[in-house]
Amino acid sequence: MNILLNKRLINFLKQYPGIFRVVKATYIESYLGLKKIENLPKKIRFKLKGDQDIVEKLLLDYPMILSGMVTENHVRVVLRNLKKVLDEGVEGDIVELGCNVGTTSLFIQKLLKHYGSGKVFHIYDSFEGLPEVKAQDKINLKSRGKPRSKNYQKGSCKTKKEELINNFRKAKLKLPTIHTGWFGKIPDEEYPKKIAFAFFDGDFYSSIMDSFDKVYPKMVPNSRITIHDYQWKFLPGVEEACIDFLKDKPEEGTVINNDRIGIMIKK
């Protein structure tokens, strides 16, 4: 089967997401080089038509960067909440605190491009990996006083800004405004005056607290914050930061969990 035929087959399968996801999962490294198709569902679930569901179209049309940090459904939850903000015309710009190589950033930019949105997309990262582990990051008793995974230590998840930039170039997408540094040390003026949507992916207590400190005062009514790894046992500091920051705010106790993505709507 030649590449041209593969592309035609893939374009056909994209009309049937239930099948196409299995194909992508089976050949996740380079699904354009399909040699065989196996384990396909017997029943076709649904077919996308027109602008029925732009989020699902984006997830089908573009392969994810395999960072090992976010799943396809995590991206889906983030995009659906961003879409809500865009559909409702909430005022303000878009921010992502903790972008790493841009797995989620690329999809956010793709959705903004689809809408023809004039909102400015800002991303923030130290590119130095994770900060110091705090006591709140160790509260899981089963961890015996340490984060339960060696993947979450000071300096873990370090990456190069050039890799992020290169991923946007490969995707032929406009590069967001990049701010380099620890969230709490980046000057307030480098954050938008009004924020409509935020995605926090800081992993540790101090990073999430700093994210709230910088972003929350600039959130407008009905804006949304999505928080990665919320209520995940391996990174308990994320939920602890949400509880501590919001305990004297109108949104106290309102964060809901959708597959490890916490969702908060500004009142």
Domain co-membership, 75 together with 172: yes
Domain co-membership, 118 together with 30: no
DSSP single-letter state for residue 127: S
Domain co-membership, 132 together with 218: yes
β-pairing verdict for 261-265 and 256-258: antiparallel
* pLDDT at position 155 over 90: no
pLDDT on residue 147: 46
Residue 178: strand pairing partners:
123
Beta-carbon contacts of 179 under 8 Å, excluding residues fewer than 6 positions away, are 122, 123, 124, 125, 186, 190
Q: What is the mean pLDDT of residues 119-126?
A: 96
CA separation for the pair 14, 241 (Å, rounded): 40
* pLDDT at position 62 over 80: no
**Under 8 Å between Cβ of 102 and 68:** no
* pLDDT at position 50 over 60: no
* Residue 34 CB neighbour total at 10 angstroms: 18
pLDDT bin (cut points 50, 70, 90) of residue 11 is: low
pLDDT bin (cut points 50, 70, 90) of residue 222 is: very high
Q: Hey, what long-range contacts does 210-213 have (CB within 8 A, 24 or more apart)?
A: 210/182, 210/183, 210/184, 211/97, 211/98, 211/183, 212/241, 212/242, 212/245, 212/246, 213/184, 213/245
Q: What is the mean pLDDT of residues 39-50?
A: 45
Domain co-membership, 2 together with 18: yes
Domain co-membership, 9 together with 90: no
Task: Decide: residue 232, CB within 10 A, 0-12 exposed, 13-18 middle, 19+ buried.
Answer: middle
Domain co-membership, 41 together with 60: no
pLDDT on residue 181: 95
CA separation for the pair 79, 56 (Å, rounded): 10
pLDDT bin (cut points 50, 70, 90) of residue 61 is: confident
CA separation for the pair 5, 228 (Å, rounded): 39
pLDDT on residue 219: 98
Least-confidence region, from 26-40, 69-83, 227-241: 26-40
Q: At what angle do helices 54-61 and 103-115 cross, to 10 degrees?
A: 130
Domain co-membership, 172 together with 221: yes
Predicted confidence (pLDDT) per residue in 92-117, tens digit: 999 999 998 898 999 999 999 999 99
**Under 8 Å between Cβ of 77 and 226:** yes
* pLDDT at position 141 over 60: no
Phi, psi of 195 (to 5 degrees): -125, 130
CA separation for the pair 54, 1 (Å, rounded): 30
Question: What is the CATH number for 81?
Answer: 3.40.50.150
Domain co-membership, 28 together with 62: no
pLDDT on residue 13: 65
pLDDT: is 237 or 24 the higher one?
Answer: 237
What is the overall mean pLDDT for the chain? Answer: 81
pLDDT bin (cut points 50, 70, 90) of residue 203 is: confident
Domain co-membership, 1 together with 39: yes
Beta strand residue intervals within the chain, DSSP E: 93-97, 121-125, 177-180, 195-200, 219-228, 256-258, 261-265
Question: How many independent structural domains does the chain possess?
Answer: 2
Domain co-membership, 202 together with 230: yes
* pLDDT at position 251 over 50: yes
Beta-carbon contacts of 230 under 8 Å, excluding residues fewer than 6 positions away, are 238, 239, 242, 255, 257, 260, 261, 262
Domain co-membership, 106 together with 24: no
pTM tops 0.85: no
* pLDDT at position 40 over 70: no
pLDDT bin (cut points 50, 70, 90) of residue 87 is: very high
Domain of residue 230, residue span: 52-265
DSSP string, 137-184: GG--GGGTTS-SSTTSSTTTT---HHHHHHHHHHHT-PPPEEEES-GG
Domain co-membership, 62 together with 188: yes
Phi, psi of 175 (to 5 degrees): -75, 130
